[in-house]
Amino acid sequence: MAVVLLLAMLTVGGGGDGRGEALRLGWTSDESDAPLMRLESEANELEQADEATAAAEPIQVAISPDQMTLQVDSPTAKPNPVVPDSPLRALSGGSDASSLMVNLAGGRLGDRSGAGRSAAVASGAATFESEAAVDDALRWLAAHQHNDGGWSFRLDDPHGPCQGECKNPLKNPDDAPTPRTAATGLALLAFLGAGHTHQSGEYSETVRRGIYFLRGQQLPSDYGVDLRSTQGSMYGHGIASFALAEAFALTGDEDLRDLLEGATMYSAWAQNRQGGWGYQPGGPGDITLTAWQIMALKTAEQREISSPTDVIPRAKQYVLSLANPERNRYGYKTPEPRLSTTAIGLVLMLYFGHQPGETEMTEGLDWIAFKGPSPTDVYYDYYAMLALHHSQHFGRMDFARTLRDHLLATQATEGHEAGSWHFVDRYGSVGGRLYTTAMCALILQTPYRYVPLSGSEKPFKL
């Protein structure tokens, strides 16, 4: 099975309780799986055969190739919390005085405030259990913020707050760089996704310190603000820029404009001749690196921070160059189709203005919905959820229920790890617990994080 889990961002180069429930899960052994973000050398990573993986203990996963199901047996799954009939339980989030719903050029950020999240539960778009899981994840992330305001994938850092109390901190046998701008950007996106900004919300100080850290990580450049971090990569720059763009979009805080304008300028300069982005400015690109830059640039546009007029059109042509002849599936660095990169390609096509009713889009979305979520590859799950949500695909509800129940059953509930996730697989061990936890929180936030780019603006029901 192919699993894509972080770490090029780190490199230079259950509702139900989920116990014993057969979950329909698209998990095929013939699907691709060169890492979307890799740690080892490009040649070695793309040539190695994919390895079978298992979900983190104590979850037992059994795959049935014939029936394509995931059997989850979780003796320590979180019990369903008691839900009061009325009033609706207050959820944490940004100030209820403002909806934190921002008009966008091709859609808009959803209502991430406490009121907005409560409304999502009332409408059926989210559940009390899934929102409790998000809050638990944010508590874990806040507890792992460093004194300087940033985060690190190295939970065993002797100078960090965790100091190895959590298992699965990060395995990095090649001692590749692990830019803290990437870790900090991901953590900030999780807080922003639940409506916590540097101006409002329970974690406003946490977010403020994170933004302050990113501001201090600027590297001298004649081409704008470089947020790659020392010995980092464009993953660090793209993810950090994305977080800053969301913070500015949600708050309109003009103190962020210069920083984000500089980061946008640098992203435009770093685009390669083919229209994509690589690990280093101007270097060979891939669809995963390109996606982070595009999401940052498109979000920055919402506060009238624009890149040169040819940047997005060239990016679109690059993404299309990675499509198969039918243009319904996408590859990593070539048109060889893969499940994870197809999910990314479909999201980008929606942001480029394509409609889900187009034949190519429909076929790609149908494929994602049919395959279902992965039990370990949270990178794929994140983009697949976005693609199905933004397109309002008819299969989104089954996909979301299955994935939600799996995440509720596998979230840690005890000790220093409580509120976090970790899945043992080829890249999950490299990404570590912080990466996985941030991505899982973002997945659960999908119903209210964005208003769909197409179709009804009403959230879908789980």
- Give the mean model confidence (pLDDT) for residues 288-301: 96
Angle of helix 378-391 versus helix 428-444 axis, rounded to 10: 20
The burial of 321, by beta-carbon neighbours within 10 Å (0-12 exposed, 13-18 middle, 19 or more buried), is given as middle
Query: What is residue 24's predicted lDDT score, i.e. its pLDDT?
Result: 37
Indicate if the pLDDT at residue 68 is higher than 60. no
What per-residue confidence (pLDDT) applies to 91? 57
Beta-bridge partners for 330: 323
Q: Give how far Cα 392 sits from Cα of 160, 194, 323, 371, 413, Å.
A: 42, 21, 22, 17, 33
Give the residue-averaged pLDDT of 85-113: 53
Mean pLDDT, range 58-78, rounded to an integer: 36
12 or 251, higher pLDDT: 251
Average pLDDT, integer, range 433-445: 96
- Which residues does 4 contact at the CB level (< 8 Å), separation at least 6? 33, 35, 36, 37, 288, 340, 377, 379, 380, 427
Is residue 14 over pLDDT 50?
no
Average pLDDT on 276-300 reads 96
Q: Give the confidence band of 171 by pLDDT, cuts at 50, 70, 90.
A: low
The answer on pLDDT for 197 being more than 90 is yes
Residue 145 has pLDDT above 80, yes or no: yes
More confident: 236 or 90 = 236
Torsion of CA 202, 208, 213, 217, to 10 degrees: 130
CB 68 within 8 A of CB 27: yes
Considering only 90-94, 103-107, 396-400, which range has the smallest mean pLDDT? 103-107
Rounded to whole angstroms, the Cα distance separating 165 from 168 reads 10
HSE, side-chain direction, 13 A CA sphere, residue 198 = 23
pLDDT mean over 178-182? 89
Helix 339-351 to helix 378-391 angle (10° resolution) is 40
Among 166-170, 186-190, 216-220, which stretch is predicted with the lowest mean pLDDT?
Answer: 166-170
Question: Is 313 exposed, middle or buried, given 0-12, 13-18 or 19+ CB atoms closer than 10 A?
Answer: exposed
Three-class SS state of 102: strand
The pLDDT score that the predictor gives to residue 172 is: 60
What confidence tens digit (pLDDT) does each residue in 362-406 have?
999 999 999 999 999 999 999 999 999 999 999 998 999 999 999
Contact 134, 201 (CB under 8 A): no
Give me the residue spans of the domains in the chain.
21-74+102-451
**Token pair in block for residue 138:** 């944010």
Q: Which residues pair with 72 in a beta bridge?
A: 21, 61
| Average pLDDT estimate for 84-108 | 45
Residue 454 has a pLDDT of 77
Assigned fold of 21-74+102-451 = Glycosyltransferase (1.50.10)
Residue 83, pLDDT score: 33
Of 194-198, 219-223, 351-355, 422-426, the poorest mean pLDDT is in 422-426
Label residue 232 by pLDDT band (50, 70, 90): confident
First to last CA, the chain: 27
Element (H, E) at 107: strand 107-109
Q: For the segment 309-355, what is each residue's pLDDT rounded down to a tens digit?
A: 999 999 999 999 999 999 999 999 999 999 999 999 999 999 999 99
Whether 343 and 368 have beta carbons less than 8 Å apart is answered as yes
Per the CB < 8 A criterion, the answer to whether 394 and 2 are in contact is: no
* Average pLDDT for the chain: 80
pTM for this model (two decimals)? 0.80
Pick the more confident residue, 173 or 278.
278
Using the predicted structure, report yes or no on whether residue 302 has a pLDDT greater than 60. Answer: yes
- Residue found by looking up tokens 């944010």 in the block: 138
